[in-house]
């Protein structure tokens, strides 16, 4: 029997199983449709199956290999800084227009290379950089502090993201509003919001750009994009025994420094974490002190070009890429009664970003689905491990191979179609707790 015939038979058997599973699911959850109008199946595999499918060598972490990748990224950032700071000056480039254009190039390059450093620190926070906790935390602490990220505070809150990914209640990042919450934020109906967006497209574009540029700062200071559980915990820590409630039965969301990553007694932290948060805060203050000395010595305009512009762009790029890992028309969210770890881990998507993604950004976007199942696998083994888990995940594995050239189009489509979540019209029982993205693009 030919290989083609065998593949055809396997495909037919897979389709038959999917149809059978959909019929079984319909009896339990009703009809579930994603934002593309396609049938959605709730994941049914286990974490043990994922572990068993991955080759053992993928779990091995090499200090030497990790350090080489880190040195590569540090060298790229350093050489870029030295070249532009020395040669992009009035003496070498008399035209202010050309110098300005070159500084834009500089900021873009530092954004690309700086994201690689950010990802190395991210690997440290997950124990994927090496098997040595002290080494991981030391390197991660230094790298993140250099870009004004409170390492230990972020590490703790990011752990909450991994433990509750995809949960409307307990995720600590990229938790979308419900339909009611989306309307409440504008104090208008969906139809009125859609009409306003059509009448003011430039305003909507500016809001999107500002959101990308400064979401990291908003998350750091005011708990942006977290689930209901964390607002309950914030109210409890602040001694608010009777917090104001919304009409949907949830706590009325109040922001402010009480939920900041810089607050040692904020909602993300236990009492034992306070010393680590203080240490992270001290490192940020030390970095700001060094930046002040640079500005006072070399000039504030130079500091803005050398550091401030890359800082904003690096963190904006991290948020931009991370949001696309967790937002797509095919991805669901779950309420507290329906969520499980596997369901949450599968509510992510791999996006192929070409050379930048695979090499300079260490395949984090191309292997993010794996990362949310097992976060300790180092990036240089992640693609092999991803290939191993695809057969286990089957139809539950999501990827987008449109590439870096179509990234702007992809982001535009996601921005329009993924603005709030709600249950499918045909869902029943616990199916009401499986929520799908909807957006103004779908409003008639």
pLDDT tens string 51-106 = 999 999 999 999 999 999 999 999 999 999 999 999 999 999 999 999 999 999 99
Q: What is the mean pLDDT of residues 170-177?
A: 92
* 128: alpha, beta or left? (left if phi > 0; alpha if psi -120 to 50): alpha
Which residues, including other chains, have CB under 8 Å from residue 421's CB and lie 6 or more apart? 168, 176, 177, 178, 179, 332, 333, 435, 436, 437, 438
Q: Dihedral of the CA atoms 362, 367, 368, 369 (nearest 10)?
A: -170
Domain match, 345 and 282 both? no
User: In the listed set 307, 326, 345, which residue is the last one of a domain according to the structure?
Assistant: 326
User: Any idea which residue has 């202010």 for tokens?
Assistant: 96
How far is it, in rounded angstroms, from Cα 221 to Cα 244?
21
User: Any idea which residue has 């254009």 for tokens?
Assistant: 101
Task: Enter the DSSP assignment of 434.
Answer: E
Q: Which 3 state secondary structure label does DSSP give 131?
A: coil
Residue 3 has pLDDT above 60, yes or no: no
On whether the CB atoms of residues 408 and 302 are closer than 8 A, the answer is: no
Domain match, 230 and 249 both? yes
Domain match, 243 and 255 both? yes
Domain assignment of residue 180, yes or no: no
Helix axes 133-146, 274-298, angle to 10 degrees: 40
User: In the listed set 276, 303, 326, which residue is the last one of a domain according to the structure?
Assistant: 326
Report the DSSP beta bridge partners of residue 251. 245
> Containing domain of residue 66, as a range?
62-168+198-326
Mapped to the 3 state alphabet, what secondary structure does 321-334 carry? HHHHHHCCCCCEEE
Q: What is the mean pLDDT of residues 393-413?
A: 84
Domain assignment of residue 233, yes or no: yes
Domain assignment of residue 178, yes or no: no
On whether the CB atoms of residues 121 and 140 are closer than 8 A, the answer is: yes
- 96 exposure class (CB count in 10 Å sphere: 0-12, 13-18, 19+): exposed
> What is the share, in percent, of the chain residues with pLDDT greater than 70?
93
pLDDT at 156: 97
Domain assignment of residue 29, yes or no: yes
Residue 5 has pLDDT above 80, yes or no: no
Domain match, 115 and 255 both? yes
- 274: tokens are 């306070």
Domain match, 208 and 283 both? yes
Domain match, 296 and 354 both? no
pLDDT at 9: 43
Digit-coded pLDDT (tens) for 276-286: 999 999 999 99
pTM: 0.90
Domain assignment of residue 184, yes or no: no
Domain match, 215 and 112 both? yes
Digit-coded pLDDT (tens) for 26-47: 888 999 999 999 999 999 999 9
Q: What is the mean pLDDT of residues 372-401?
A: 96
Domain match, 300 and 397 both? no
Sheet architecture: strand order including 332-334: 332-334, 434-438, 420-423
Pairing of strands 434-438, 332-334: antiparallel
User: In the listed set 292, 326, 360, which residue is the last one of a domain according to the structure?
Assistant: 326
- 356: tokens are 């930048």
How far is it, in rounded angstroms, from Cα 220 to Cα 256?
10
pLDDT at 444: 55
* DSSP per residue, 305-321: IIIIHHHHHHHHHHHHH
pLDDT at 6: 37
Report the DSSP beta bridge partners of residue 112. none
CB atoms within 10 A of CB 357: 21
Helix axes 63-87, 379-393, angle to 10 degrees: 120
Domain match, 101 and 242 both? yes
Which residues, including other chains, have CB under 8 Å from residue 199's CB and lie 6 or more apart? none
Domain assignment of residue 224, yes or no: yes
Domain assignment of residue 190, yes or no: no
Domain assignment of residue 335, yes or no: yes
On whether the CB atoms of residues 55 and 39 are closer than 8 A, the answer is: no
Total of domains in the chain? 2
Domain match, 130 and 264 both? yes
The confidence band for 374, taking pLDDT boundaries of 50, 70 and 90, is very high
> What is the share, in percent, of the chain residues with pLDDT greater than 90?
69
The confidence band for 315, taking pLDDT boundaries of 50, 70 and 90, is very high
Q: How far is CA 269 from CA 155, 210, 372, in A?
A: 11, 29, 22
On whether the CB atoms of residues 229 and 339 are closer than 8 A, the answer is: no
- 346: tokens are 């599968």
Domain match, 378 and 436 both? yes
pLDDT at 43: 94
Which residues, including other chains, have CB under 8 Å from residue 215's CB and lie 6 or more apart? 224, 225, 316, 319, 323
Residue 427 has pLDDT above 70, yes or no: yes
On whether the CB atoms of residues 125 and 158 are closer than 8 A, the answer is: yes
The runs of H, that is alpha helices, within 228-350 are 228-237, 274-298, 300-303, 309-326, 341-345
Domain match, 290 and 305 both? yes
What value does the CA radius of gyration of the chain take, rounded to a whole number of Å? 23
């Amino acid at each position: 029997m030919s290989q083609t015939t065998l593949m055809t038979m396997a495909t037919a058997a897979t389709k038959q199983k999917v149809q059978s599973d959909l019929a079984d699911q319909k009896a339990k959850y009703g009809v579930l449709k994603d934002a593309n109008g396609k049938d959605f199946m709730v994941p049914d595999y286990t974490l043990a199956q994922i572990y068993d499918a991955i080759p053992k060598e993928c779990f091995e972490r090499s200090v030497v290999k990790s350090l080489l990748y880190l040195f590569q990224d540090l060298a790229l950032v350093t050489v870029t800084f030295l070249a532009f700071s020395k040669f992009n000056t009035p003496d070498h480039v008399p035209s202010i227009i050309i110098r300005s254009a070159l500084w834009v190039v500089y900021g873009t390059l530092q954004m690309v290379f700086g994201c690689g450093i950010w990802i190395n620190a991210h690997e440290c926070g997950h124990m994927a950089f090496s098997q040595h906790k002290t080494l991981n935390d030391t390197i991660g602490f230094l790298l993140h502090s250099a870009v004004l990220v409170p390492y230990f505070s972020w590490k703790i809150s990011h752990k909450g993201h991994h433990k509750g990914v995809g949960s409307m209640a307990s995720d600590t990042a990229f938790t979308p509003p419900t339909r009611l919450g989306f309307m409440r934020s504008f104090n208008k109906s969906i139809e009125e919001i859609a009409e306003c967006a059509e009448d003011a497209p430039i305003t909507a574009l500016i809001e999107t750009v500002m959101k990308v540029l400064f979401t990291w700062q908003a998350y750091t200071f005011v708990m942006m994009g977290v689930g209901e559980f964390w607002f309950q915990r914030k109210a409890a820590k602040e001694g608010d025994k009777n917090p104001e409630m919304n009409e949907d039965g949830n706590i009325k969301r109040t922001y402010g420094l009480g939920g900041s990553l810089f607050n040692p007694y904020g909602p993300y932290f236990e009492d034992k974490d306070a010393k680590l948060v203080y240490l992270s805060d001290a490192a940020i203050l030390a970095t700001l002190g060094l930046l002040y000395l640079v500005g006072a010595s070399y000039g504030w305009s130079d500091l803005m070009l050398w550091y401030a512009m890359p800082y904003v762009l690096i963190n904006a790029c991290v948020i931009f890429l991370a949001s696309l890992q967790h937002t797509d028309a095919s991805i669901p969210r779950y309420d507290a009664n329906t969520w499980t770890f596997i369901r949450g881990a599968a509510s992510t998507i791999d996006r192929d970003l070409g050379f930048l993604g695979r090499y300079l950004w260490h395949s984090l976007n191309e292997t993010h689905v794996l990362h949310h199942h097992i976060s300790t696998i180092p990036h240089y083994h992640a693609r092999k491990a991803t290939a191993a888990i695809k057969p286990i995940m089957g139809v539950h594995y999501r990827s987008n191979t449109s590439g870096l050239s179509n990234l702007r189009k992809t982001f535009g489509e996601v921005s329009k179609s993924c603005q709030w979540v709600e249950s499918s019209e045909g869902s029943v029982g616990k199916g009401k707790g499986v929520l799908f993205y909807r957006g103004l693009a779908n409003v008639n």
